Amino acid sequence: MGSFSWEKSDMSIRPGSMYKVGGQRYVDSQALYNVAGAHEVVPLEDGWRAVVRGGSVRFTLVEGRPPLPRQRGALYSVQAQGPMNFKDVRTAWVSQGLMGGAETLASWPGGPEVKAGCGCGKTCGCAPCRLKHGSGHEHDHDHHDGGTP
Average pLDDT on 79-87 reads 93
Predicted confidence at residue 64, as pLDDT, reads 92
What is the arrangement of strands in the sheet containing 18-21, beginning at the earlier edge strand? 40-44, 47-52, 55-62, 75-81, 24-28, 18-21, 103-105
- pTM exceeds 0.85 for this model: no
- Residue 21, classified by CB atoms within 10 Å of its CB into exposed (0-12), middle (13-18) or buried (19+), is buried
Residue 109 binned pLDDT confidence (cut-offs 50, 70, 90): confident
The residue with greater pLDDT, 121 or 94, is 94
Q: How far apart are CA 77 and CA 26, in angstroms?
A: 4
Residue 141 pLDDT > 70? no
